[in-house]
Amino acid sequence: MSLRAIPYNRVQTIGNILFATRGGKIHSFNVSDHKHISTWQHPDLEKPSSARDSRPEPNIEAKTTTEPENVPDKEESEPPAKRQKVVGGDVNGSAGDAAPTKAETTLHRGKKGKARDKSDNHGDKSRMGRVVDRPLITLMTCTDDGKHLIAVSGHDKSVWVFQHDGEGQITQLSQRTMPKRPSAIATGPGSRIIVADKFGDVYSLPLIMAPPSPSSLAPHTAPVPEPPAAEPAANTFTVHSKRNLEALKHQRKQLELERAKGTPKPQGPSFESTLLLGHVSMLTSLAVTEAQGRKYLLTADRDEHIRVSRYIPQAHVIEGFCLGHKQFVSEMTIPQRREDILVSGGGDEELFIWDWKAGRLLSKTNLLALAREIAPQTTRVAVSGLTSLVYPEQGGVTYVLATCQDALTRTISVQAIFTWQLTPDNQLKNPGIIQLPCNPLHIAVAPASDETAPKLVVAMDPGQGVQAKSLHAYTLTRTENRLSSDVEIPIHGQSFDGPETQVSEAEIRNMFFVVENLRKQGGEGGGDDGEDAGSDSVAEVRAEVKATPAEV
């Protein structure tokens, strides 16, 4: 089987410093001279590959009411593996996430009071990639002051916080393992990290992790571990099949071992985390913004909804919705210096421009038509990236930039970055195309200085057998309010970082080309397998605004 290096997949700029992730490593570069500064690597990279591959993923147990839990790992005379139903995943817990608790299920009830599948995502094909057996940084952002860098490693669901010295050197401050895999992150006022996950929940974490104490944490933020039960809830009177009797035997054996070790099983995170709100579908993007002195939290999901909620401490109050997408929403951005405007995109042919505070659609622009100018065979696109910039810096024009994947192949991106000018009347005009040598995975903007124009940093996948570089910088120019670039500068090539970066072509697709997997298969606008999982009517959603249950 042919192997190749993992490409750079996430980029983040802080002033003149570029952070780029590759596998389980975070590299820093100087944007001016493109020199490498430092490297941080995930601790799991130090483990032998065989140990990583055999490492069980935490939180895969799914509770049932009629069969015993905590069946131990395989050993001699173990009964056949029990097929447990895991919400949003495959049987046997292949999705790698725990089933929701009763409280969570109640929080996410759908039509007619029936609990609905919150993940609704064909196993675990989330926008950050499938679960992989190797360390992989899937998300990255920074605080507004640039003093802290936040990253998410998808394989172990961990949120990492680093202190940045301003020169490209980072120091690890904390690691926090979330109960479910994060799908979007942002930073908010009050030194908070806002984390959305693939089960539809949004949590708030403190940026700086303090040692927990019973007096400082609310009861629901850090549950106290309970000692192991004296006996399983099930017994020989309630369990009858041979397989379940064997499982009960093993469960009792496991409880005896826990009592002997004196190590209670933890029941929740040991750090402060506050549940803010929940959707009935997988969350794909979030943003924190402000209007008229009040802060808001914007969340988008796979069910075509964009919700506007108040920020902490009133995140349970829903201010409204931006309704109009007919397919999933994968990306949102608040354009620079236009905080009253939201641009969103996903599985539709168009980008949507909103007055998000009023929930009013202002305009749309056709992305598919622009993609066909360089890829005529394209019949359907899925937005994989959205960002914005202001050029020139002083009194300049706001531009919106987008990348997309070709829904026909599901294995490549349209090899271009599309740009538009956001006009004062809230239209995307003067479209431009910056063609790329290979498939874009993520983009970031290095702002202009007094002496230089802004630069566009692009992480790319060169593809099998292609000698192109994986990390590029483009110097932007402006002609008649259209953005373009004629200067391409490779920042870092496909240098060999170690055997852990060598993967197959199939693994590359599973890790990075997954946005199209958000599209539902049961028909246009319908749920999976024909189920009406995400097509709440406008009236029903408006009713949800009025409900705003305080118990959220």
Per-residue model confidence as pLDDT tens digits over 356-409: 999 999 999 999 999 999 988 888 999 999 999 998 877 788 999 999 988 766
pLDDT of residue 271: 87
| Predicted local distance difference test score (pLDDT) of residue 504 | 85
Cβ within 8 Å of residue 265, ≥6 positions away: 225, 226, 228, 258
Interval 162-181: pLDDT, tens = 999 999 999 999 999 999 99
Instruction: Assign 247 a pLDDT band (cuts: 50, 70, 90).
Output: confident
Residue 123 to residue 422: CA distance in whole angstroms: 38
pLDDT band at 450 (very low <50, low <70, confident <90, very high): low
Helix residue spans in 87-165 (DSSP H): 102-107
Q: How many CB atoms lie within 10 A of CB 28?
A: 22
Cβ neighbours for 103, distance < 8 A, ≥ 6 positions apart: none
Q: Average pLDDT for residues 453-482, to the nearest whole number?
A: 85
Residue 284 binned pLDDT confidence (cut-offs 50, 70, 90): very high
Beta-strand pair 201-206/274-278: antiparallel
Predicted confidence (pLDDT) at residue 312 exceeds the cutoff of 90? yes
Distance (Å, whole) CA 8 – CA 304: 29
The whole-number pLDDT of residue 82 equals 38
The 10s digit of each residue's pLDDT in 340-352 is 999 999 999 999 9
* pLDDT for the residue numbered 400: 96
CA–CA distance from 283 to each of 118, 193, 305, 445 (Å)? 10, 16, 10, 25
pLDDT of residue 244: 67
- Predicted local confidence at residue 454, as pLDDT: 86
pLDDT for 289 equals: 95
Q: Which two tokens stand for residue 109?
A: 């009830």
Better-scored residue on pLDDT, 353 or 336: 353
* The pLDDT value given to residue 210: 78
CA atoms within 13 A on the CB side of 455: 28
The average pLDDT across 240-260 equals 74
Mean pLDDT of the chain: 76
**Region 206-225: what's the mean pLDDT?**
59
State residue 452's pLDDT score: 74
For residue 164, give the 3-state DSSP assignment.
Answer: strand
Question: Is residue 243 over pLDDT 80?
Answer: no
- In order of 279, 345, 490, 510, 521, the CA distances from 305 in angstroms are 9, 11, 38, 26, 18
Closest CA to 332 of 318, 346, 321, 312: 346
Q: Which two tokens stand for residue 410?
A: 């599901």
| C-alpha to C-alpha distance for 12 and 187, rounded to whole angstroms | 14
| Higher pLDDT pick, 48 / 397 | 397
Kindly report, residue by residue over 121-131, the tens digit of the pLDDT.
333 444 444 55
How, if at all, do strands 360-366 and 192-197 pair? unpaired
For residue 97, name the pLDDT band (cuts at 50, 70, 90).
very low
Lowest mean pLDDT among 268-272, 273-277, 535-539: 535-539
Convert 228-256 to b/e letters by CB count within 10 Å (16 or more is b): beeebebeeeebeeeebebbbbbbbebbe
Helix (H, G, I), strand (E, B) or coil at 471: strand
Laid out side by side, the sheet with 482-492 consists of: 439-446, 455-461, 471-479, 482-492
User: Helix (H, G, I), strand (E, B), or coil: what is residue 341?
Assistant: strand
Q: Are 318 and 218 in contact (CB under 8 A)?
A: no
Q: Which domains does the chain have, with CATH numbers?
A: 3-46+131-210+239-265+274-518 (2.130.10.10)
What band does 2 get if pLDDT is binned at 50, 70 and 90?
confident
Answer for the pair 200, 210: CB distance below 8 angstroms, yes or no: no
pLDDT top residue among 233 and 124: 233
What's the pLDDT score for residue 106? 39
Average pLDDT on 232-239 reads 59
Whole-angstrom distance, CA of residue 49 vs CA of residue 306: 41
* Nearest Cα residue to 422 out of 389, 446, 453: 389
Strands 416-422 and 397-406: antiparallel
Interval 51-87: pLDDT, tens:
444 444 444 333 333 333 333 343 333 334 434 333 3
What is the percent of the chain where pLDDT is above 70? Answer: 67
HEC secondary structure over 368-409? HHHHCCCCCCCCCEEEEEEEEEEECCCCCEEEEEEEEEECCC
In this predicted structure, which of 236-240, 405-409, 416-420 has the lowest mean pLDDT?
Answer: 236-240
Of residues 239 and 540, the one with the higher pLDDT is 239
Q: What is the C-alpha to C-alpha distance for residues 203 and 224, in angstroms, rounded to an integer?
A: 19
The pLDDT of residue 109: 39
Calculate mean pLDDT across residues 478-492: 81
pLDDT tens-digit map of 3-33: 888 999 999 999 999 999 999 999 999 988 8
Q: Report the percentage of the chain scoring pLDDT > 90.
A: 45
Residue 296 token pair: 């808001």
Q: What is the DSSP letter of 273?
A: -
430 vs 499, residue with greater confidence: 430
pLDDT of amino acid 21? 95
Distance CA 376, CA 373 (A): 6
Say yes or no to pLDDT of 158 above 60. Answer: yes
* Residues across the chain: 552
pLDDT reported for residue 225:
45
Instruction: Give pLDDT, residue 75.
Output: 35
pLDDT for position 216: 46
What one-letter code names the amino acid at 485? Answer: S
**Amino acid at residue number 280:** V
- Choose between 196 and 522: higher pLDDT: 196
pLDDT score recorded for residue 237: 62
